Amino acid sequence: MITLSQILAWISQLDAVYTENKAYLTELDSAIGDADHGINMARGFSAARKALEESPPADIGAALKAVSMTLIKTVGGASGPLYGTVFLKASVTCMGQETIDEEGLERLFSEGFRGVQQRGKAQVGDKTMIDAWDPAVTALKEARSSGGGVAAMLQAAAAAAEAGRDATVPLVARKGRASYLGERSKGHQDPGATSTALLFAAARDTLS
Amino acid sequence: MKKLINSPDDVVQESLRGMEAAHADILKVNYDPAYIVRADAPVKNKVGVISGGGSGHEPMHGGFVGRGMLDAACPGAVFTSPTPDQMEEATKAVSSGQGVLHIVKNYTGDVLNFETAADLCQAEGIEVEAVVVDDDVAVKDSLYTAGRRGVGTTVLMEKIVGAAAERGMSLKEVADLARKVNAQGRSMGMALTSCTVPSAGKPTFELGEGEIELGIGIHGEPGRERTALKTARELVDYMGEAIFSDLPYKSGDDVIVMVNGMGGTPLIELYLLYAELERVAKARGITIKRRLVGNYITSLEMQGFSITALKCDDQMVQLWDDPVHTAGLRWGV
């Protein structure tokens, strides 16, 4: 069972993780993008943590919705609406709930993933955050259907997201600003897949 | 960096203050979230037309807010997409119940932020249609890139579509017209020098003495090739060929064209370039029905220019001639 206070801990952890990795993500982005991903993610999740502290949410859905609205307003670029959509779609699955079980966890992440997929229209292999999202959500579902609990599901998802992130290195970008580089985007790890892997690692560390 | 500013962080906000003070008869500015809106908004029984994008391209978009053109514009940070809360509030401010059109330039950030805003507006019961401008022939359009960038056709679209909304056309008619303008508009730019984003403090790219960038984007993105400086005649031949062969245009076609300065190009050069464009069009049997020559979609202080050509019909020309009263374009009033 995942509680509201664990969800709040996850968001605080994301603030810490993106702040810690601000320079790293921005460096990845400067190679194939516009050199602002780390700055934007750190700004967005700091604002999200502050928003939750200033007006404590009543339930998990309300918490995720507040995170979504804050990200949409503060992150900017392409990542703002993409991560904002993840949290918005995820919030709809657990409105009014103070706890969620394995089934709820699966719905939260699969709906969030479906939202980002629809918004960004990227496929696996396009060298985007989808390359981390898709295997992570698949692994999460598989872990549950083979009888795993919350910890096993998040463990599997985080590992799959990291593998997906690493797999972006040799790819040629087909979406976003990096796509204009064509072949020159090869050899660089995708910053969006990297921030997604961090999101799942933080979930494993706080929600299990 | 030498700029006429107080502090890099305050450029957009302080510029908005000046704009509001200079054009109080035409527009108002909301600061949080930031948007520029027609002084008389919302206009009754009229489809709202809004646009937005990074700042640094003035007069686009804020300079095109006013009667006969945009109802509102959302300025982002310099060269950075605005956020959905700005677009949502601007949409509400111009909505009179007839629906609102969003004119979006094709950059991943702009498109995603406007899509998110459209979802938020629709959840509030405001009907929104979005049209994406992707007219830059310098960039390859393929399934494997984010597609062509949105540049000069945006200005022509805002004029024509703004007039259509002013005449009382429906949201669907206005959106269809906008899509037609995009389908028939093509642009290409070039740069003699880079520009400097205030918060970056140094030039976006370096060009050697005697070097130019052909196919430059409006944020200083690289284009087709870096090459040696050419004469105005050679440049317009090259860019005219790239544009006119792309649609393709044919002998007998009518066009509305724009010879646009990137911000640091003197008018004496822009008029010289326009004369070359008349020559190129004439040689192809293409008639220039209307034209703009000046700085309309800029890249801060970049030296360079772009050409936009829009294949037009009688309806587009009539809408072009309709009155417009904005900071950046004004006739018939």
Reference B27, options B332, B325, B289, B329; nearest CA is B325
**Rounded (5°) CA angle A125-A128-A134:** 65
Of A160, A164, A153, A159, nearest to A192 (Cα)?
A: A164
Give the model's confidence band at B143: pLDDT under 50 very low, under 70 low, under 90 confident, else very high.
Answer: low
Contacts of B87 in chain A (CB under 8 A): none
Flag whether B4 is in a domain. Answer: no
Cα distance between residue B153 and residue B297, in whole Å: 10
Q: Are residues B178 and B195 in the same domain?
A: no
Interface test with B, best of A26, A65, A73, A83 (most B CBs within 10 A): A73
d(CA B296, CA B59): 6
Residue B143 forms contact with A (CB below 8 Å): yes
| Whole-number pLDDT of residue A178 | 84
- Total domains in the fold of chain B: 2
**pLDDT for res B142:** 63
Q: Which chain A residues have a beta carbon less than 8 Å from that of B139? A: 180
Interface check for B13 against chain A (CB to CB < 8 A): the answer is: no
A81-95, B55-69, B141-155: which has the minimum mean pLDDT?
Answer: B141-155
> Is the domain of B171 the same as that of B275?
no
B325 is a catalytic site residue: no
C-alpha–C-alpha distance, residues B307 and A186, integer Å: 33
**How far apart, in Å, do the first and last CA atoms of chain B sit?**
41
Predicted confidence (pLDDT) per residue in B163-193, tens digit:
999 999 999 999 999 999 999 999 999 999 9
Strands B48-55 and B72-78 come out as parallel
Q: Which residues of B touch A185 (CB under 8 A)?
A: none
Assign A96 a pLDDT band (cuts: 50, 70, 90).
very high
Residue A176 amino acid letter: G
What CA–CA distance (Å, rounded) separates B104 from B112? 10
Q: Which of A154, A163, A164, A160 is nearest to A131 (CA)?
A: A164
Contact status of B141 with chain A (Cβ, < 8 Å): no
* Vertex B146: Cα angle to B143 and B149 (nearest 5): 120
Alpha helices in B171-231 (DSSP H): 171-184
Q: What angle do CA B85, B91, B96 make, to 5 degrees?
A: 150
Which among B136, B158, B156, B131 has a CA at the least distance from the CA of B146? B136
Same domain membership, residue B236 and residue B138: no
DSSP A48-91: HHHHHHHS--SSHHHHHHHHHHHHHHHT-TTHHHHHHHHHHHHH
Distance of CA A51 to the CA centre of its chain: 18
For the sheet with B100-105, list strands across it: B27-31, B34-38, B72-78, B48-55, B100-105, B128-133
CA A153 to chain B, closest CA, distance in angstroms equals: 30
Residues B308 and B326 in one domain: no
The residues that bridge with B225 in the sheet, in sequence order, are B214
* Catalytic residue list contains B219: yes
Judge whether residue B247 has pLDDT over 90. Answer: no
Span A2-207 CATH architecture: Alpha Horseshoe (1.25)
Same domain, B32 and B158: yes
Mean pLDDT of chain B, nearest integer: 95
Question: Tell me, what's the pLDDT at B305?
Answer: 98
Q: Which candidate, A67, A100, A84, A95, places its Cα nearest to that of A207? A: A100
Residue-range domain boundaries for chain A: 2-207
Residue B213 lies in a domain: yes
Positive or negative, the CA dihedral B289, B294, B300, B303 is positive
CB-based contact (8 Å) between B240 and chain A? Answer: no
Residue B1 lies in a domain: no
- Residues found in chain A: 208
Cβ <8 Å between B83 and A80: yes
What is the domain extent for residue B285?
Answer: 185-319
Instruction: Determine, yes or no, domain membership for B98.
Output: yes
Percent of chain B scoring above 70 in pLDDT: 99
Q: Count other Cβ atoms within 10 Å, centred on residue A77.
A: 27
Q: What is the DSSP string of chain A?
A: -EEHHHHHHHHHHHHHHHHHTHHHHHHHHHHHS-S-HHHHHHHHHHHHHHHHHHS--SSHHHHHHHHHHHHHHHT-TTHHHHHHHHHHHHHHTTTT-SEE-HHHHHHHHHHHHHHHHHHH---TTSSSTHHHHHHHHHHHHHHHHTT--HHHHHHHHHHHHHHHHHHTTTPPP-SSGGGGGGGGGTT---HHHHHHHHHHHHHHHHH-
Q: Could A77 and B146 be called an inter-chain contact, meaning their C-beta atoms sit closer than 8 Å? A: no
* Residue of B84, B85, B139 with shortest CB distance to A180: B139
Residue B146 has pLDDT above 90, yes or no: no
Closest CA to B293 of B270, B312, B269, B275: B270
Range B112-115, long-range pairs (CB < 8 A, 24+ positions) = B112/A78, B112/A80, B112/A81, B112/A82, B112/A119, B112/A120, B112/B81, B113/A76, B113/A80, B113/A81, B113/B81, B113/B82, B113/B83, B113/B84, B113/B87, B114/B52, B114/B84, B114/B87, B115/A81, B115/A119
* Residues of A within an 8 Å Cβ radius of B: 36, 72-78, 80-82, 84-85, 119-120, 172, 174-177, 179-180, 182
Of the candidates B57, B61, B102, B325, the residue annotated as catalytic is B57
CATH of the domain at B20: 3.40.50.10440
Give yes or no: residues B103 and B229 share one domain: no
Instruction: Kindly report the average pLDDT of chain A as a whole number.
Output: 94
pLDDT surpassing 80 at residue A57:
yes
B149 and B277 together in one domain: no
Inside any domain, residue B218 = yes
Query: What is the predicted pLDDT for the residue at A64?
Result: 98
- Is there a single domain that holds both residue B220 and residue B250? yes
Instruction: Please check whether residue B146 touches A, CB under 8 A.
Output: yes
B244 and B270, same domain (yes or no): yes
Q: Quickly state the pLDDT bin for A7 (edges 50, 70, 90).
A: very high
Q: Is residue B2 part of a domain?
A: no
Predicted confidence (pLDDT) per residue in B8-66, tens digit: 889 999 999 999 999 999 999 999 999 999 999 999 999 999 999 999 999 999 999 99
Which pLDDT does position A115 carry in this prediction?
Answer: 95
Q: Which residues contact A172 (CB under 8 A, 6 or more apart)?
A: A127, A182, A183, A185, A186, B144
Q: Both B199 and B174 in a single domain?
A: no
Regarding whether B189 and B254 lie in a shared domain, the answer is: yes
A100-158 pLDDT, tens digit per residue, is: 999 999 999 999 999 999 999 999 999 999 999 999 999 999 999 999 999 999 999 99
Using the Cα atoms of residue B43, residue B51, residue B34 and residue B3 in order, give the sign of their dihedral.
Answer: negative
